[in-house]
Structure 1
Amino acid sequence: MRKQCRVMVTGAGSGVGQAIFKALRASTLPVTLVAADITPMNAALYRADEAVIIPRVEEANALEHTIELLLQHRIDVVMIGSEFDLEFFSLYKTEIESRASVLVIVAPPETVAIANDKWLTAEFLRESGLPYAEAYLPKSQEDALHKAKEWGFPVVLKTRRGTSSRHVHIVRDTESLEQLFPGMPLPMLQRMIDTPSSELTNEYTCSVFKTADGNLVGPFTARRTVRGGTSWHIEVAAFEELYAPLLLIADALDFVGSLNIQLMLTSHGAIPFELNSRFSGTTAVRANFGFNEPEMALLSFFYEEPIPVPEIRGGVAMRYHEEVFIENTNASNLALSDKAVVNNWF
């Protein structure tokens, strides 16, 4: 019989954090879910078994405070639900694990750096001999205009660091580039791979899982549309033409657990444009269709058991907004012991 595992999910109020929760709720493993976030106004805190407010990772005493909380709440495993926590837990993984007797599911700092920086992502793919979208770091607005004209419009103007399509623009002419460039933090240009669509056509969100002994599980492949930087309609199927490039990327990168790969399928083949060395906002969708990465992480890294070959089913997922309700309180008097209700609307 497996022992109870106390799992803390950071960024529990984020889309990724909530997806991890849903996947673990769908699992049959004996898990106590501890929601962790930096403010009380996060819905998952009131739907978990237990909840805790954790420090912002940029605070001066964040490391000591985090270790104290992990010990206080007897946490066995930490799963990262916020991209803002990745660098911190990756950098201090060894110390946190040693001092708090906990397992942190996080990629090495070098991999987190590659995944968090879109320029480094493109360079990693290029240097590894893998398909990539050509990128350029402009030294000035004039330099950006020169490169865009050399490539030909449209081009993509984006920040090197960012998530959920923040600061990502398809630039179709000189005037638009002149308007957008001054407000772009850490700007980079990238060739257009293909035009994003509101239909399920050419954009994919995929995953490969690496076990504790280095074996690869998957890949999981799904076609998607995007709304507000989030996968909105997801079609899960065995898109076999993507398998080889996905496994080549996974072979080339040093990661732990989940590797999320966003790509376009073009007339020149599959071209990845984003890597995330963490759980995904579509983690719950994957779990529903048979590819439960948080469960696999616990089986492989915590219970040290082999992972059965996932039986991935095909299907369609559609996102919608949901509310949680906490009765007889107000925003200034919320207590972590409060429990929220989700209505069964339909």
Structure 2
Amino acid sequence: MNDLVGRPGYMAQEWLDPAQGEFTTGVYLGDDGDVKGTCTFRRQLRHGSTFIAERIIDLQLEQPLEDMARALGMKYLNIQSMRRGDKLIPFEFNGRLSGSTAMITRVFNAPEMFIRERLLGEKVDRIFNSDLFVAMRYYEEIYATPEQIAALKSRSADL
């Protein structure tokens, strides 16, 4: 591996044991720079997207992530991490609403908080929510002919 160090096109990254779990954490910062909501899920992925997310509450794991969010100063930050011992090791930061945002709204609603602060000029308080739950997604494809769609639209118009 040493012969690859410094060569363009290569990157070395610490290996983290996937058996320890992969996590996604959403952190919302108020306009005052204080954390207003944090939610962490241990997640299972399917094709790169969270399809099972188990809410965990562990301040020892979340505090360093909140500190990182404050330091980065991003309004909403989604942090992907893996566990090493008693710590979460971030490997990806997404400064945007993410695929797990809908699941996180069961704990705190970042889009609503943003609207309340930026558009309505309201002050938002920190949300402390201790609900434990598991969110599960499923994907289903439904096929219909153009005639079936037209018939559905016709029946719907009569309502």
TM-score, length-normalised on structure 1?
0.38
Report the equivalent of 1:328.
150
Structure 1 segment 130-279 matched on structure 2, within 5 A: 138-139=7-8, 144=10, 188-195=11-18, 197=19, 201-256=20-75, 258-267=76-85, 269-279=87-97
Question: Is contact 1:219–1:246 with CA below 8 Å preserved after alignment?
Answer: no
Name the aligned partner's letter for residue 70 of structure 2.
D
Structure 1: unaligned runs, 5 residues or longer: 1-135, 145-187, 330-337, 342-346
Question: Is contact 1:193–1:264 with CA below 8 Å preserved after alignment?
Answer: yes
Question: Is contact 2:33–2:73 with CA below 8 Å preserved after alignment?
Answer: no
Question: Is contact 2:29–2:70 with CA below 8 Å preserved after alignment?
Answer: no
| Closer/same/farther in 2, CA of residues 225 and 278 from structure 1, 3 Å limit | same
Structure having the higher helix fraction is 1
Report the equivalent of 2:124.
307
Separation in structure 1 between the aligned mates of residue 54 and residue 15 of structure 2, nearest angstrom: 24
Question: Is contact 1:205–1:262 with CA below 8 Å preserved after alignment?
Answer: yes
CA-atom RMSD in angstroms = 2.6
1:311 CA displacement: 4.3
| Closer/same/farther in 2, CA of residues 294 and 137 from structure 1, 3 Å limit | farther
3-state SS of paired residue (1:243)? helix
| Closer/same/farther in 2, CA of residues 310 and 137 from structure 1, 3 Å limit | farther
Structure 1 segment 21-170 matched on structure 2, within 5 A: 138-139=7-8, 144=10
Q: Deviations over 1:132-178 (max 9, x none)?
A: xxxx76426xxx5xxxxxxxxxxxxxxxxxxxxxxxxxxxxxxxxxx
Structure 2: unaligned runs, 5 residues or longer: none
1:243 CA displacement: 2.0
Q: Which has the higher contact order (CA 8 A, sep 6+)?
A: 2
| Closer/same/farther in 2, CA of residues 191 and 297 from structure 1, 3 Å limit | same
1:215 CA displacement: 2.1
TM-score, length-normalised on structure 2?
0.78
- Count residues with an aligned counterpart: 144
Q: Deviations over 1:79-112 (max 9, x none)?
A: xxxxxxxxxxxxxxxxxxxxxxxxxxxxxxxxxx
Separation in structure 1 between the aligned mates of residue 108 and residue 6 of structure 2, nearest angstrom: 37
Structure having the higher strand fraction is 2
Name the aligned partner's letter for residue 139 of structure 1.
P
Separation in structure 2 between the aligned mates of residue 268 and residue 207 of structure 1, nearest angstrom: 19
